Each structure stands twice: as C-alpha cells, then as structure tokens.
Amino acid sequence: MIAELRGWTFLRCALAAFALVGCALFQHASAATEAQIKQIEPLIGEGHLTMDLDVALKLSPIVIEAAERGVPLYFTLDVKITAPRWWWWDKTIVETSLTRRMSYNTLTQQWRVASGDLFLPVSSLQEALSVLEKVRGWPVAPLDRFEPNVRYDGLVRIRLDTSHLARPLQLDARNRGAWSLTSPWTPFDFSVRKGEDSK
C-alpha cells in the first residue's frame, strides 16, 4: 500500500513538472515572436479610402537567422470592412491585402524593403523593420463603394506570410512556432461625410 501511494505521488510530481516545463516553453515561444497593430488612421481623399498604419514586429532568432542568410520574408497586411445590416449578417464591402518583402543581399550586405516593383534600400535589419512598421497612404478602396454618413466597421492584421517561402521552408514553418507571427485582428470604424466622396 505504501509503495503504491509513493508511486502515485511520484507520478503526480512528474506530471506537474512536465506541465510547468511545457508552460515555460510555450511562454518562451510566445515571447520570441510578436506582432501588433499600434495605430490605425483611415483617411478620405482623392476619391479613395486610404490607410496609415503603425505596427510593431518582433522576430524570433530563427526567422532573423534565415533573413540574414538571404531568405526573403513576406509580411502581409489584411483589411476587412463591413457595413451593418439589421436584417442579416454584416455586408462585406472590402477585403484586400498588401504584401511587402524584406530581403538581404549577402553579397552587397544590403537590406531591401519592397512593395511590388518599388523597393527601398536600407543599411540594417532594424532599419528594414522600421520601414515595415509604418504604412502610409495605402489605397484600400475607391470611395464609390461607401454610402455617405454610414458607419463602417473594419478589421486589420499583419502576418508573416509563409506561403511565399520556398517549399522546404514552408514545411519547416508549419512545424515550428518561431515562424508563426500574426497580430490579432484590430478593429476600427469610419464614415464618409456627404460631399467627401466627390473630392
């Protein structure tokens, strides 16, 4: 009987220790990567809804090492805008994305941040991240999609888009939390005043 009790006590202690280690590893992995939308400013002008965004990005050592070896990283901003309908689910007005690429040329030792065919050369990883963390004048949608004086609700997030990685890295990224970098959806709202849609 005593031996049996000692066996159960040992098992409980082992399970508790395992749970603590697992918790610590999860917290370490969570702290290693982080993405957050800090500020959202919808702007009306020149016939478009544009957005200024400030984000915060913290990359894991594994992702940084891959970037420093020349692996391009793709960061995608997603935005969804809906209009409320009392008689049905909210109507989706806009659903669009913006992808930017950060890369390092190991020969020239130069970092680049690119969006489409446009790119900006910078001298360090920190400068490249600073460029990625600020989005200015992103044209989200033409104003003719919005009715005047109606409140629209939106959500924005940023994520490390592993779908653009080479196939072996995609498989690796699925199995390693260090590559998981997605901010929570962050809400915002706006309305278009009558007359603004004609500017």
pLDDT digits (tens, 9 = 90+) for 86-128: 778 889 999 999 999 999 999 999 999 999 888 999 999 999 9
181 neighbors 161 (Cβ within 8 angstroms): no
Which is more confidently placed, 11 or 99?
99
Q: Which of 111, 148, 105, 109 is nearest to 126 (CA)?
A: 111
User: Is the pLDDT score of 6 beyond 80?
Assistant: no
Structure tokens at 170: 């995609």
Lowest mean pLDDT among 18-32, 54-68, 180-194: 18-32
- Burial group, residue 60, by CB count within 10 angstroms (0-12, 13-18, 19+): buried
Furthest C-alpha separation in the chain: 86
Mean pLDDT for 136-152 is 94
pTM of the predicted model, to two decimals?
A: 0.78
| CATH match for 33-198 among 3.30.1330.30, 3.30.420.40, 2.60.40.10, 2.40.128.20 | 2.60.40.10
- Give residue 159's pLDDT band: very low, low, confident or very high (50, 70, 90): very high
Tell me, what amino acid is at 19? A
Dig out the tokens for 11 from the structure.
Answer: 């098992």
Domain locations along the chain: 1-32, 33-198
With residues binned 3-state (H G I as helix, E B as strand, rest as coil), the percentages for the chain, rounded to 5, are: 35, 45, 25
